[in-house]
Amino acid sequence: MNYARVIGIGWDVGGWMGTNHGIAVCSWEAGSNEVTWHGAPFETGLPDSGMLSLDELLSGSGIDENLLADNDTLTVIGIDAPLGFPAEFVNLLNGQPAEVMKPEKEIFNPLAYRVTDQEIYERFRKKPLSAAFDRIGNNATLAMAHARRWERENNFAVYPAKAEAAETNRIIVEVYPALVKSRRDGDAAEWLIKHMPGNTVPGTDAYDACICALYAIALGSEGQLLPKLKTPPEHLKNLVMQEGWIYYFDLENEGK
């Protein structure tokens, strides 16, 4: 990626009926050592139309949607919600036999957790909620429905599934704010907090949306401003294409 500007949109996803959707917008100019925040991060519910539009994500930011069409601008939406279901779970719903035995731990049940969820657990000892088994399925279906709409109407591509086929400067990625916080209502890590806006409160959905937006900036800045994001390893590529991938800061290889 080689862009003059990256726009990061963070969406901390609530449920279909909730009013706890956090949204934040920021940008980064290539060569700069800081992030610019546009408008105040806010929390909202779904509009009466039933779906959030790209205009509504940018509402209050002062960023015109036409800027997203600039070939020198990369726009990334960082979404805190599963953008896929476990492949074994989908197969089961489609009538295929489940080749699953009782696991040693719940996290290793392929009907409940994707390979990316297991990767997060192995590396960070944090267990993402299961889109198949937990209430996060509410948020997951909403996020997936929106992602499909923005792919169709606004030329976005969900990574990594569409990374190779898509020719677009608009990307959607799944992220996980909890990985850069010591506790749910705590501050972001010190190396990240210096880029956070001063008008948000830890523990709120707007605060987590800001972290999502910084993940988005990290994808586009490719290590120039923030640590690079970990991409799927080659041996998991086929499965990840089906299930999705949580992009996380690759601190282990920082500086290498």
pLDDT tens per residue, range 99-112: 888 999 999 999 99
pLDDT tens per residue, range 158-181: 999 988 776 789 999 999 999 999
Residue 92 belongs to some domain of the structure = no
Residue 10 CB contacts under 8 Å (≥ 6 apart), including other chains: 22, 23, 24, 25, 26, 41, 77, 78, 80, 208, 209, 210, 211, 212, 213, 214, 215, 216
Q: What is the pLDDT of residue 166?
A: 66
Low-confidence stretches of the chain (pLDDT < 50) are none
Q: How many domains does the chain have?
A: 1
- Whether the model pTM is above 0.85: yes
Omega before 97 cis (within 30°)? no
Q: How many CB atoms lie within 10 A of CB 105?
A: 10
Q: What is the pLDDT of residue 39?
A: 95
Residue 231 belongs to some domain of the structure = yes
Domain that holds residue 23: 5-84+134-253
Segments of 119-250 assigned E as strands: 157-158, 170-174
| Partner residues linked to 44 by β-bridges | 21
Residue 128 belongs to some domain of the structure = no
Residue 110 belongs to some domain of the structure = no
Q: What is the pLDDT of residue 163?
A: 81
| Partner residues linked to 26 by β-bridges | 8, 37
Q: What is the pLDDT of residue 69?
A: 84
Q: What is the pLDDT of residue 60?
A: 87
* CATH number for position 158: 3.30.420
CA distances from 123 to 19, 33, 101, 132, 189 (A): 32, 29, 24, 22, 17
Q: What is the pLDDT of residue 49?
A: 85
Residue 98 belongs to some domain of the structure = no
Q: What is the pLDDT of residue 164?
A: 73
Residue 90 belongs to some domain of the structure = no
Residue 127 belongs to some domain of the structure = no
What is the separation of C-alpha 85 from the centre of its chain, rounded to a whole number of angstroms? 15
Q: What is the pLDDT of residue 183?
A: 87
Please say whether the beta carbons of 191 and 214 come within 8 A: no
Residue 57 belongs to some domain of the structure = yes
Burial level of 194, CB count in 10 A (0-12/13-18/19+)? exposed
Could you give the CA distance from residue 254 to residue 218 in angstroms, rounded to a whole number? Answer: 13
Picking from 179, 152, 191, the residue whose alpha carbon sits closest to that of residue 78 is 179
Residue 23 CB contacts under 8 Å (≥ 6 apart), including other chains: 9, 10, 11, 12, 41, 42, 43, 44, 57, 206, 209
